[in-house]
Structure 1
Amino acid sequence: MKFTTILASAACAVLFSFNGVSASPINLQTRAAAANSGVVVGYFPNWLYQDFLPTKINFKKYTHIYYAFALQVAGNVPIWEDPEIMNEDIEYGFPALVKAAKAAGTQVTISVGGWTGSTKFSPMAASAAGRAEFIKWNVDLVTKFDLAGVDLDWEYPNGAGPGCNTVSWNDVDNLLLLVKELRVALDKASPSKYKEITMAVRIVPWGGPEDATDVSPFVPYVDRFHVMTFDVNGNWEPVSGPNSPFRVEKGKGFQKGFVEGIEYWNKAGVPFNKLAGGVAFYGRSQTLTGSTAPTTQYSPSSLTSPLGDSDDGPWTNPYCPADSSAASGQWKYSNLRSQGVLTTPVTAASPWVRHFDDITQTPWLYNPTNKVYLTYDDPVSVGVKTSWAVEKGLAGVFAWSIEQDNGELVEAMQAVRNGVIPPVSSTTTASTSASSSSPVTTTTTTTASSSGTPLPGGKCDGVAAFNAATAYNTGKQVTYNGGLFKAQWWTQGETPSSTGPDWAAWTYVGAC
């Protein structure tokens, strides 16, 4: 995750030994399988402090909250940039988050590393003593707070990351030793309650000049690989492009998107049910340099980012000073809505012009007054990724990061929890021409299934009235304001509407 961003019972006692490390991968897979599906993970940045308290999290929308990050930037033991976050009495602290999450039935995992917190993974992982210290710190934390497990977010093995990471030719070999030894330690410390190991990984493995083609040795020990299918294109290139494309356009921009990245990891040896796809709750802007309004997402652009949303500004990586910028150009989705750029999830306000790319399945905006191109995700594009995740049998989806959403994006991810593919728009109309300055709406048409037809005679006999306190599963019907509605996926508290967008939980069947 860039710019300060960036599974139950034992069934087999067969032990395998690799490089002198004893572990039980078959046992691991048996114990973990039931918990490694329908996952919706939200990363929670621990530098938010009072700006976004744990009490603001809608925990019921997430199966896991990943607390990010403990930093691996000195010695063999992770550190907290602000040790106060471990204080029991601090309302923005880690103990408060754990308590609130558990009360809602949501699991918490500690995430180590990130874009700024990976500078010293390599020397720690290079020695048995270093790995032992690192593992003890993590296992102690997992045990103390009864966490779900540990997430390793090394950005990146064999790569310099922001430019200051210590790098060794055998980083990947040492990372494998680390996860094997961590698996043994977690099993020993918690023999009756399984603890996960997950990894946040680059869109192609790992981080050096060569993309790995076989990562299968990791599979028995890692429960999920969170593929960071965002930061795909940006102002590090002189041509604009989508931040998080569903699919890529051949020959345009970086040639890996959500589909291509996940399929690459699968072909490299990771089963689909151990892969989770990344969803960006933020967008990126670039200043275009052409003289005419763009007709595609790929246009000549400046390498200097324009100012993004109201939270954007100068930033310097505290552990790599050369990694700095006057502005990131980033826009939180919640700020796109609250600052009026998007007046609805699919309507842009003047002078912004909204487009939707049918190949990458992503919306994008253009502002003709300052030539700013803005790439982001909305409920439509997130729904496309969620549907594919369900269709391919992925472990689930994850988001960076939860405070950047107003609730509309995570709602579009909920279908993955039930394993039901939500209805897909049969048509998408293009936005108005790029020279238009009027608000633009992308309209969609949803094909109704036979199970969504009105009851005989148009009556709703026997169908219960909607109750905001009731949880409804996919396919459940309710009556509301004289209409019959059907749930497209699991939902609770969302009021049915006959004029709701296609990404809403309820679809209108007809009048009673």
Structure 2
Amino acid sequence: MTSPANGKVNVGYFVDWGIYARQYFPKHVPATSLTHILYSFADVKPDTGEVFLTDTWSGQQIRYTDVEDPDSWNDPPGRSNLYGNFKRFGLIKRHNRALKVLLSIGGWTYRSHFWPMAGSETCRQTFAQTAVQLLEDNGLDGIDVDWEYPADSEQAHAFTLLLQGIRSALDAAQAKRTSDPPRFLLTAAVSADKSKVQTMDLSGMDQYLDFWNIMAYDYAGSWSDLTGHHANLYNDSNTSPASEASGDDAVKTYTNAGVSASKLVFGLPLYGRAFASTAGLKATFQGVGPGSWENGVWDLKALPHAGASVTEDTKYSGASYSYDPSQQLLISYDTPAIFDQKTKYINDKGLAGAMYWELSSDYTSSSSVTPMVLRVASKLGKLDSTNNCIDYPYSKFDNVRNGFTS
């Protein structure tokens, strides 16, 4: 299991679609400030349990030529080489031995594919075997499972059995190696909503997980009755969202159930949620307006908007927002002061570290702007320095097996 003695983890989601309109590539990842990358998302076939990549072109095929050690278009005859994002991360890992890359499976889009698949022992075995083969083929360090969300005790039990099978398959993959390889990791993205948390078999899951990634955001949005903070640290009666969720409440729910604080990773949103035609906080609204890439969701680097005033509440809610009275637009997002407050909370509570959704939202080429990922990393203290894996003798790709040496 991940030990606090190894330092804090700093975990970022890298989305495979980010290389398109967002123009966010592996070379942009702040490798020295992160300890883990969650590569998102793989999917699962609901009828068989087979895990598969949803975009093999970006993951395995695209040639990167505008980088150090550019990809070749002239493979030797008879060779099958890995390219794409996974090759780039494989090279980055060799230069940053503390950076681990995990394959994240599921997510909101593919949430319906977990059940009833996970209720079948055969499907669970297939899930574990195919997930670990993707790890081997693409040179990865672990598996992250993002099932949103088990609906009842039957599904929760199946989730635990699924994790048990993956853990066994990861251990078997590690045992096949002749050297003493780093541990392959198993993590899960989990809700901050108390009702969803209480549905899960926390003690059963905990024995298989290296750490838990708490999605401490999206407490308010287009689905809400009133405007509110979408990622408040505390629940203040004057400023809390319509839901009663907060980051602190989520942490307490897990720790009260016996999960060690040292295995909880606190999720930080690199985006804001907008509310249109509103008079302010805890008020009615009409729609959410446009966004950076989807309606009502703004990249952190685009905030605050010109003409908007910013309100920070570090005393009660641990949250912030901007409001433009001329546009009647409120955007709930975390300012640097709130990131600092949450980082202090992580340290004070002895949590495992921080997690970000998602890395492209905070990236800028401007050297005058410090991304929040770097800001938080500098305040977390010593970061996890356990080695990644660079030995993949069972990959189907020739260049992965030989360590990208030719």
Query: Does the TM-score normalized on the shorter chain lie above 0.5?
Result: yes
Structure 2 residue 66 is matched with structure 1 residue 78:
no
1:183 — aligned with what?
167
Q: Which amino acid aligns with 1:72?
A: V
Aligned to 1:148: 141
Structure 2: distance between partners of 1:206 and 1:141: 33
Matched letter for residue 52 of structure 2: I
For residue 245 of structure 2, what is the aligned residue in structure 1? 256
Spell out, residue by residue over 1:53-104, the C-alpha distance to the aligned partner (whole angstroms, 9 max, x if none).
1111121111111101001254311233222133255335322233224423
**How far has the Cα of 1:36 moved from its partner?**
6.2
Amino acid at match of 1:77: E
Task: Tell whether the 8 Å contact from 1:240 to 1:288 is kept in structure 2 after alignment.
Answer: no
TM-score by length of 1: 0.64
Indicate the RMSD between aligned Cα atoms, in angstroms.
2.2
Question: Counterpart of 2:217?
Answer: 230
Instruction: Quote the Cα distance in structure 2 between the aligned partners of 1:244 and 1:34.
Output: 25
Write the distance in 2 (CA, Å) between the matches of 1:393 and 1:415.
Answer: 16
| Native 8 Å contact 2:15 2:41 kept in 1 | yes
1:67 aligns with 2:39: yes
Contact 2:44 2:127 in 1 (8 A): no
Deviates more, 1:272-281 or 1:360-369: 360-369
What corresponds to 1:3 in structure 2?
A: none
2:111 counterpart residue number: 118
Report the Cα distance in structure 1 between the residues aligned to 2:278 and 2:128, rounded to whole angstroms: 49
Question: Against the structure 1 CA distance between its residues 400 and 196, is the aligned structure 2 distance closer, same or farther, given a 3 Å change threshold?
Answer: same
1:118 and 1:245 mapped to 2: Cα distance?
25
SS in 2 for 1:243: coil
Q: 1:259 to 1:229 in 2, by over 3 A?
A: same
CA distance in 2, matches of 1:307, 1:263: 35
8 Å contact kept, 1:39–1:416: no
Closer/same/farther in 2, CA of residues 85 and 369 from structure 1, 3 Å limit? same
Q: Alpha-carbon deviation of 1:408? A: 2.5
Structure 1: distance between partners of 2:45 and 2:13: 20
Equivalent residue number for residue 389 of structure 2 = none
Q: Name which of structure 1's ranges 353-362 and 218-227 shifts more when overlaid on structure 2.
A: 353-362
**Contact 2:278–2:329, Cα closer than 8 Å, also in 1:** no
Q: Which SS does the other structure have where 1:125 is aligned?
A: helix
Aligned pair partner of 1:330 in 281, 297, 317:
297
Is the contact between residue 232 and residue 247 of structure 2 (CA under 8 Å) also seen in structure 1?
yes
The answer to whether the Cα contact below 8 Å between 2:150 and 2:199 also exists between their aligned partners in 1 is no
1:55 aligns with 2:31: no
- Contact kept, 8 Å, 1:84 with 1:90, in 2: the verdict is no
- Say which SS state the counterpart of residue 237 (structure 1) adopts: coil
Partner of 1:94: 86
In 2, Cα distance between the equivalents of 1:381 and 1:249? 15
* Distance in 1 between residues matched to 2:6 and 2:135, nearest whole Å: 19
Aligned to 1:441: none
Q: TM-score w.r.t. structure 2 length?
A: 0.80
Larger-Rg structure? 1
- Paired letter, 1:402: L
CA distance in 1, matches of 2:149, 2:90: 28
1:279 paired to 2:268:
yes
Answer with 254-263 or 89-98: which moved more. 89-98
Matched AA of 1:216: S
Code of the residue aligned with 2:219 in structure 1: it is: V
Q: Tell me whether 1:46 sits opposite 2:16 in the alignment.
A: yes
Deviation (angstroms), 1:415: 4.2
Secondary structure of 1:413's partner?
helix
Q: Say whether the 8 Å CA contact 2:191–2:215 is kept in structure 1.
A: yes
Matches within 5 A, 1:306-325: 306-309=289-292, 311-312=293-294
Change (3 A) 1:112 1:62: same
Give structure 2 stretches of 5+ with no counterpart: 65-83, 364-369, 384-406
Structure 2 distance, partners of 1:284, 1:239, is 13
Assess if the C-alpha contact under 8 Å between 2:311 and 2:322 holds in 1. Answer: yes
| d(CA) in 2 for partners of 1:279, 1:374 | 16
Distance in 1 of aligned mates of 2:212 and 2:14: 18
CA shift digits 1:334-376 (9 cap, x unpaired): 1227xxx2xxxxxxx32x1111123222221111112111110
The answer to whether the Cα contact below 8 Å between 2:318 and 2:341 also exists between their aligned partners in 1 is yes
Please say if residues 45 and 401 of structure 1, whose CA atoms lie closer than 8 Å, have aligned partners that are also in contact: yes
1:466-491 Cα offsets, whole Å, 9 max, x none, are xxxxxxxxxxxxxxxxxxxxxxxxxx
CA contact (8 A) 2:310 2:322 kept: yes
Per-residue CA distance 1:229-254 (angstroms, 9 max, x = gap): 00011121120001111111137422
Determine helix, strand or coil for the equivalent of 1:262: helix
**1:248 and 1:182, CA in 2 relative to 1: closer, same or farther beyond 3 A?**
same
Assess, with a 3 A threshold, how the Cα gap between structure 1 residues 169 and 275 changes in structure 2: closer, same or farther: closer
CA contact (8 A) 1:379 1:408 kept: no
CA contact (8 A) 1:365 1:373 kept: yes
1:434-449 equivalences in 2 (<5 Å)? none
- 2:342 matched to 1:385? yes
* 1:172 equivalent in structure 2: 156
Shift of 1:143: 2.4
3-state SS of 1:225 partner: strand
Asked whether 1:353 is paired with 2:309, we answer: yes
Q: 1:362·1:376 contact (CA, 8 Å) conserved in 2?
A: yes
Report the alpha carbon displacement of residue 381 of structure 1 after superposing the two structures with TM. Answer: 0.6
**Per-residue deviation at 1:121?**
0.8
In 1, Cα distance between equivalents of 2:5 and 2:122: 32
CA 1:107/1:79 → structure 2, altered by over 3 Å: closer, same or farther?
same
Please identify, of 60-69 and 255-264, the stretch whose mean Cα deviation from structure 2 is larger.
255-264
Q: SS state of the match for residue 184, structure 1?
A: helix
Cα distance in 2 for residues equivalent to 1:214 and 1:366: 41
Letter in 1 for 2:335: D
Name the residue aligned to 2:333: 376
Verify: 1:108 aligned to 2:101, yes or no.
yes
Contact 1:70 1:79 in 2 (8 A): yes
Residue 52 (structure 1) shift: 1.0
CA distance in 2, matches of 1:354, 1:169: 43
Q: Which amino acid aligns with 1:382?
A: F
CA distance in 1, matches of 2:340, 2:102: 25
